[in-house]
Structure 1
Amino acid sequence: MVLPAAVALSSIGVGRPVHQAVAVTALWVLVGLAAGRYAPWTWDEGAPVGPLVRDWLVLLGALAVLRAVSGLGEASPAVLAALCPSLAVTVLCRKAIHRHVLAVRRRARSLRRVLVIGEADAVDAVVGQLAERTDHGYVVVGACVLGEGEVLSGVPVSARLPAGARTASDEGAAPVADAADLLDADLVFVATGRHLSGDRLRRLSWALHDRGHRLMVLPGVVEVARRRVRITSAAGLTLLDIAPPARRGLPTLLKAATDRAGSLVLLLALAPVFALLALAVRMSSPGPVIYRQDRVGRNGTRFPMWKFRTIIVDADRLKGELAAVNEHDGHMFKLRRDPRVTPVGRFLRRSSLDELPQLVNVLLGHMSLVGPRPPLPEEVARYDQVEMRRLSVKPGLTGLWQVSGRSDLSWHETVSLDLRYVDNWSWAWDLTVMARTVRAVLDGRGAY
């Protein structure tokens, strides 16, 4: 913060720029401390830009108050503009640090040791959820199981706790605290269930807090972004207020405007690329340049989706003959070495250039720049109720599926990613996915 501020203030001729930059930086640190930006758990949320921008606006307000109190008057627009590079550098540094944190966690380092409390199936569910991803900072080192159920996840069972509605509220608290001491646990996760009453959980928290252990309660809700959750209370009850997914209002208007403007700009900028690719497809094999295919969009509405043709003309007829060798475990049809794909088509798929005509779909409102993969009608016909939720938003030209491995992902992973986006999308998250798309296209992993 201090270096870009000093350089910017010096460039506009402000007196004593270094001293002012140091003062601004000190105030920035205090704003961050007040907002809890330096707490270890903040890295579990990634490095979102929104909170930093809000902190920066608070910083500007605090500076205005300090200048007014000290008699310096209002800051000029040039001075305020000189602080913008500091915000940009802070965002870039925090993004870089977050990538470093993720890399360290993937090597199983810098993790917090967790003791899980709950019934056997709940313990297995928590362990399985944590094992699916490496973007968090927790490792389960033991479990205290309620009842006699069998733990199938392989986690060591440190203690068996009595279960039942008539169990004393404080029974089992001491063994849990002893297990946390023995395992040197940093945190204790409690998976709530029918055998964990509020009073019993309260006494358990007393035993753990008295020994210096932190307690986290898992309410059972999964894949909900933290910004959608608000904690409130009523009559001594602790309540989680979960905001519904954004389906209307300013966020959706902003997304629609970004889709239309972004697709129009890209179509104009990439017009020469379109011409070259169309010529390459025309010369590589007989048939049309553009491949038209019916896809299913938001709320089950069908629309024609366009791509540069990457397959031979009678490829749809041959698909039924190749169904027996489908390499994907879900409803999609994928072959690494699909014999229907032309040589130029392999290059287009590898580079994702075959998807560019879908910018027209985005401009016409059939699709969005970011969203779930647009499914085929025959795929949707086999969807269950959970999978149908993928159709709650417009499909996207890119999305979490495309930037997370594409065809290399299992069907379960594909659905999980799409549902995470459907429930938690935001305009800022869309910008992040679009930025990650560039790296995914250059990498080419899972594109075939």
Structure 2
Amino acid sequence: MRARVRTWQQERHRERPSAKRVLDLTLGSALLALTSPLLAAGALALAARRPPGGVLAHSPRVGLDGHVFVMCSLRTRRLRLDLLSRLPHVVRGDLSLVGPEPLAPDDGGDPRIQGGTCTPGSGTSPAARHWRQELKPGLTGLAQVRSRSGMPWDEPALLDQHYAEHHGVGLDLAILASAVHTPLREAARGLVRRGKARLSDTDHRLSGYSAAEELGSVSTD
């Protein structure tokens, strides 16, 4: 009887969603609802152009426990619509909001497909494949938010492994905040640069000032 109770408790524990899954489901659903009009507009704009291969790009990716799924993305990178179009995978559970980069099967993410081979320098050694299969790949991740730093030790494989060793809801929230803050900061800098480019010396001159007056002042000196 005690063994049955213990087994029932273990099954209940397995069925209980983790805090990470709750975050993915709640925040992912909210983001999908907010961005649906933008995604629909992007899909219609792409459909009008009739891109080869269709509006959506389909690519196999290796997920949790080596499960291979087909990831769908809009064929555009404007406003990061390709990234946002993967939110349904987060809601379904194929992806997490934050996690390692989703690898293709031929990248060595699934040892059953690769036969245990690995690509040098790609972070897909047998040990790397082991921890990759224990985590869902992410919509974004530590490697993505640190890719712009330019530091020589910020290799994506090492950053993904660091995330796998220290992942948690707190780190996920910090990565998500950085993923949102960095594009906004770059967009703000771009607007400032454009404003400076349009600004010239004549913008500071008093009304009625003419080039002739400037030449006259130079000649009298």
1:414 matched to which residue of 2?
156
1:286 maps to 51
Taking the aligned partners of 1:398 and 1:294, their CA distance within structure 2 comes to 17
Evaluate the alpha carbon distance shift between residue 298 and residue 407 of structure 1 in structure 2; reply closer, same or farther with a 3 A threshold.
farther
Q: Structure 1 residues 276 and 365, CA, compared in 2 at 3 Å: closer, same or farther?
A: same
Residue-by-residue CA offset, 1:245-268 (whole Å, 9 max, x unaligned): xxx88x961111111111111111
Q: Deviations over 1:19-45 (max 9, x none)?
A: xxxxxxxxxxxxxxxxxxxxxxxxxxx
User: Which residue of 162, 172, 181 maps to 1:430?
Assistant: 172
Matched residue, 2:204? none
| Counterpart AA for 2:145 | V
Alignment correspondent of 1:192: none
Identity %: 34
- How far apart in 1 are the matches of 2:60 and 2:149? 20
What is the root-mean-square deviation in Å for CA atoms of aligned residues?
2.8
Q: Which runs of 4+ in 1 moved over 6 A?
A: 406-412
Greater RCO between the two (CA within 8 Å, min separation 6)? 2
Give the secondary structure class of the aligned counterpart of 1:372. coil
Give the whole-Å Cα distance in 2 for the aligned partners of 1:268 and 1:371: 22
> Looking at CA atoms only, which structure, 1 or 2, has the larger radius of gyration?
1
Deviations 1:102-134 (A, max 9, x none): xxxxxxxxxxxxxxxxxxxxxxxxxxxxxxxxx
User: What TM-score, normalized to structure 1?
Assistant: 0.33
The alpha-carbon distance between structure 1 residues 293 and 410, as it changes in their structure 2 partners (threshold 3 A), is farther
Q: Which residue of 2 aligns with 1:361?
A: 89
How far 1:436 sits from its partner (Å)?
Answer: 0.4
Cα offsets for 1:41-77 (capped at 9, x unmatched) = xxxxxxxxxxxxxxxxxxxxxxxxxxxxxxxxxxxxx
Matches within 5 A, 1:60-79: none
Tell me, which stretches of 5 or more residues in structure 2 are unaligned? 1-12, 109-113, 119-123, 188-221
- What is the CA distance between 1:439 and its match in structure 2? 2.4
* Greater fraction of residues in strand: 1
Aligned to 1:187: none
1:256 and 2:9 correspond? no
**Equivalent residue, structure 2, for 1:53:** none
Inter-CA distance 402–252: structure 2 relative to 1 (3 Å threshold): farther
1 or 2, which has the higher helix percentage?
A: 2
- Structure 1 residue 391: deviation in Å? 2.8
Q: For 1:224-235, list aligned pairs within 5 A.
A: none
TM value normalised by structure 2: 0.64
CA distance in structure 2 between the partners assigned to 1:376 and 1:426 by the alignment? 25
In structure 1, the gaps of 5 or more residues are 1-247, 310-344
Aligned to 2:126: 385
Distance verdict in 2 for CA 1:369–1:387, change over 3 Å: same
User: How many residue pairs were aligned?
Assistant: 159
